[in-house]
């Protein structure tokens, strides 16, 4: 049977780092990569790497994967998918804002299709509905309070519609008494 070098190295690293606290672990990993000439590793460099928490049967320690979050929320439209992805990033990754690439990665991790060609249109439509805040920049999407409440009510579509319908309604002009009297004549 062939030896899995990655698994063997991972087990060795985990056993070495087990006695360190979180900050010490990060420094040790960064130092080891630096010594090997790899430099600092960011999460964007890890986008193609296999994720341990998404391996079937793996223990996730209570953390919900993007796929599990999307399955639980069951978004029906592209706008809803953007909102669910942004909320996932807020709750599980501690993000305040999300870029197009960050939302794309979450949606792909959830095994959903990401519509890159219509992203700008979908984001603007979501801003119009009040799901995302306006004025956060072209490449930055910040989920609004209404958007957070919307995602939190999912998968209950009726409750979610009520959250969005709480948006300000257009003012209607009142007819004055004189105009109403003229129309009756």
pLDDT, one tens digit per residue, over 8-63 is 777 788 788 888 887 887 888 787 777 777 765 554 444 444 444 443 333 344 57
CB 92 within 8 A of CB 74: no
Query: Which stretch of 33-37, 82-86, 89-93, 138-142 has the lowest confidence by average pLDDT?
Result: 33-37
Cα atoms found within 13 Å of the Cα of residue 80, Cβ hemisphere only: 21
| Spatial CA neighbour of 92 closest among 75, 120, 70, 119 | 70
Distance CA 106, CA 143 (A): 15
Q: What is the pLDDT of residue 184?
A: 66
> Per DSSP, what are the bridge partners of residue 98?
141
CA distance 159 to 153: 6
Contact indicator for 99, 108 with CB cutoff of 8 Å: no
Q: Where are the beta strands (DSSP E) in the chain?
A: none
Place of tokens 């008494």: 177
Q: Region 133-145: what's the mean pLDDT?
A: 85
């Amino acid at each position: 049977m062939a030896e899995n070098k990655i698994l063997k190295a991972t087990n060795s690293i985990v056993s070495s780092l087990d006695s360190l606290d979180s900050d010490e672990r990060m420094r040790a990993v960064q130092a080891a990569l630096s010594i090997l000439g790899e430099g600092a590793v960011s999460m964007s460099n890890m986008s193609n790497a296999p994720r341990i928490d998404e391996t079937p049967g793996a223990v996730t320690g209570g953390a919900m994967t993007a796929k599990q979050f999307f399955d639980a929320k069951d978004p029906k439209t592209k706008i809803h998918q953007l909102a669910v992805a942004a909320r996932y990033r807020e709750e599980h990754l501690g993000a305040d804002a999300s870029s197009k690439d960050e939302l794309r990665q979450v949606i792909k991790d959830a095994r959903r299709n990401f519509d890159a060609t219509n992203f700008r249109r979908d984001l603007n439509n979501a801003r119009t509905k009040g799901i995302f805040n306006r004025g956060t920049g072209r490449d930055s999407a910040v989920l609004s309070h209404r958007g957070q409440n919307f995602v939190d009510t999912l998968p209950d579509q009726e409750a979610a519609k009520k959250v969005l319908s709480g948006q300000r309604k257009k003012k209607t002009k009142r007819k004055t008494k004189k105009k109403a009297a003229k129309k009756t004549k």
